[in-house]
Structures are given as C-alpha cells and as structure tokens.
Amino acid sequence: MKRIIFYLLLLPASASAQLTLPPSGDNQKSNVGQWIGPVEVKITYSSPDVHAPGGHDRKGRIWGEVAHYGFKDLQGIAGTSKISPWRAGANENTVITFSHDVKVEGKDLKAGSYGLFLDVEKEGPWSWIFSKNYSSWGSFMYDSSEDALRVQIQPQEAAYTEYLTYSFDDRKGNSATAFLQWENKKVPFKIEIPQVNDLYVSILRNELRSTPALDYHNWVKAAQFCADNKVNLEEALTWAQRATNPVTGGTEDFSTLFTKSNVLNALGRSSEADATMERAVKLPSASMMAIHQYARGLLSAGKKEKALEIFRFNAKAHPEEKFVTYVGLARGLAAGGNNKEAIKNWEIALRNVPENQKANISNFEQEVKKLKEGK
C-alpha cells in the first residue's frame, strides 16, 4: 500500500484525472452552432451574467470594466501577456470553429478552430481577433503573433441581456451574422461562404465517389443542382447521362430525362433539350401529373404554343382523367387567347372536381368569370 501511495505522489499534475465540478465563477459553459450552406460554424464559450456570483449588480460596469478597454496587462499569472484583449466570454478561451474556409467581414479565414477575443474600445471601432491559440485559459497567454485575423466592427445598442450570449442572425444561403450580446451591447461579425455553389459541387463530387453513387437518384439530384445554379454544367451532363443509363445503374424515365433536358438547356443546347423532353413525355411510364407540371413550366416560361401542345398530348394520353388534363387545356387555350374553348374546358373540369380540390372551386370559378368578361 505504501508503494502505491508513494507512486501516486510522484505523478505529475497533468496525469491526474479531471473531476466534474461547477465551472469557475459559476459561468456556465454554452455552445451554439449554425450551418451556412454546407459550412458548419460552432462557438463554444462560458457565459457570465451581469449579476456576478452572489447577486452583485454590475450593470453599467460591464463594458470598460468586466470587458476591459483595449489591451491590458493581466497581473497575477506567471508568463502572462502584457497586452491582453478581453477573452469575449469567461474562463477558458471562447472557441469558434469553421468546417471550411470562410470570409469574416470580407477577409479570408481558413477552416479550423480559433480562440476568439475582442478588443473593446471606449471610442471608435472594436476589433474581433481570431487567434490560432484556442486551448488556453482566457487571454492570459495571448500572443499577437498567433493572430490569424483581426476585423474591425461597430458595436450596436441592444435590448438588455443578462447572460453573455452568442447567436446568429441575418441567415442566408451563403452568409450569416454571428454576434455576442451582453448587457446593452450587440457585437456582430459577418461570415460569408465565397463561391458557395462551387463548394457544394466539390462536396457532391466527393460524395458521388462513395456509396451515394449506387443510387441513380443522387446523380439526378446533383445534376439538377448544377442546372438550377448554372454551375459545373459539363460534368453535370455526364452525371445526368449516368442517371439515364441502365449500364451504370440508371434508368430512363421522365425524371431522369427531365433533369438531362434541364442541364442541356442550361448549356444552351435547346434543340437537344427539346428532343430529350419529347422522348420523356412519350414514355409509357410518364405520369399524367408529371406531364401536366412540365407543360405548366413551359407556360410560365412563355412557351405558350409548346405548352398547349403538351397539354393536348396529355389529355389524349390520359382520357380517364377528367379534371387535371382539362384544367391544363383551359389554361393553355386561355394563354393563347382562345377564351371560348378555354371556358368549355373549364366547365368540364368544374363538373369533375376531385375531393382534394373542392376548397379551390371558388378560385376556379373566378378564372372562368374573367374569361367570360374577356379579361
């Protein structure tokens, strides 16, 4: 037993097991995350409150005292930095992590984790500091040579917030604004994903080298994404062709040909796109609703004659349908100025309204009324 005790006494402090105890100062740990497109952003921090432990009221003394102005000599720890910014939280470093490269306030920042500090100023702009050192306690060991990025911002007045809080707002597909909010201040910084669609393509390309490639639907989705966003179109065409080819695990159906046609249109190869859709609508497996929606899309694109042609084909191919195909004919004819025939088809459709469309009857009747009034 004596030997065991003696051995334990010789163990360095770093080798001792960590205990789960309340955080220093009762500043509870928090984390918040946000996806910006395919990029994940995470902020981990300790959250002090305006009322210090014991209920001591620090209102009016947060900015400039608790969050000290400028760079301060933090006394009391060996090796401390002589120029320490505020730690932008409490206890250990506040840590922000980016899964991919980003821009912060228009400046490049590589993927990775960073210690997040804040230079609080009495007057003029404040500065967010992203440090390569993210594993220290607070800013006692801050070293400006480890800065990866500094950006200036203007703090904003905000509603009272008791607990220091990080969050995100102004969220879009390629950007979001992260912010710290505490007491009466909100301190933002904008994060942007440059060329976000190119990043999506890179991720899709890599995923299609693995198990998702075994499902042709994924080739369709990837190709359609490129067509919708006018990116990576030549490769997207090979993806669409793979989705239609049984040899590569694909199948030629309305959806796969529709996507191939969309890619061809995006490439400016409209005659090939039209020929592809001619094949798609005439497939025995093409559903009445798929053909109807295709014709609606043509109508929205201003291709009135082609839309009416497809509406007519759909009605002929599906004589059993007495509502959708007649609505299509009515709209196609009305778009071409043939109100008389459009009204006739609306009347047939209105005699055959299915249960799931009865709530829209008044809207249909309004369309007929407008046609009768010549509108």
Q: Is 139's pLDDT higher than 90?
A: no
CA separation for the pair 271, 26 (Å, rounded): 69
Please state the domain extents for the chain: 23-192, 196-372
* Cross-sheet strand order for the sheet of 156-169: 107-109, 102-104, 175-192, 156-169
Beta bridge partners of 182: 185
pTM beyond cutoff 0.85 = no
Asked if residue 263 has pLDDT above 70, the reply is yes
Are 65 and 111 in contact, with CB atoms under 8 Å apart?
no
Model pLDDT, residue 25: 64
Class of the CATH domain delimited by 196-372 = mainly alpha
The per-residue pLDDT for 20 is 76
Beta strands in the chain (DSSP E): 28-36, 39-47, 51-52, 56-57, 63-64, 67-68, 95-98, 102-104, 107-109, 112-119, 126-131, 147-153, 156-169, 175-192
Residue 136 predicted with pLDDT over 90: no
149: pLDDT confidence band, cut at 50, 70 and 90? very high
C-alpha closest to that of 99 among 110, 88, 90, 83: 110
- pLDDT value of position 353: 94
Q: d(Cα 325, Cα 314) in Å, to the nearest integer? A: 6
Mean pLDDT of the chain: 91
Residue 74: predicted pLDDT: 76
Closest CA to 59 of 138, 188, 161: 161
- How far apart are the C-alpha atoms of 204 and 259, rounded to whole Å? 16
pLDDT single digits (tens) 18-68: 687 777 766 788 999 999 999 999 999 999 999 987 778 899 999 999 999
Q: How many CB atoms lie within 10 A of CB 144?
A: 13
Cα angle vertex 287, ends 295, 219, to 5°?
90
Starting at the edge strand found earlier in the chain, the sheet holding 95-98 runs 28-36, 39-47, 95-98, 112-119, 126-131, 147-153
Res 340: pLDDT: 93
In this structure, are residues 167 and 181 in contact, taking their beta carbons and an 8 Å threshold?
Answer: yes
Q: Cβ neighbours of residue 338 under 8 Å, at least 6 residues apart?
A: none
Q: Which residues pair with 28 in a beta bridge?
A: 47
Average pLDDT over residues 251-279: 97
Query: Which of helix, strand or coil describes residue 60?
Result: coil
pLDDT of residue 7: 38
300-351: pLDDT as tens digits: 999 999 999 999 999 999 999 999 999 999 999 999 999 999 999 999 999 9
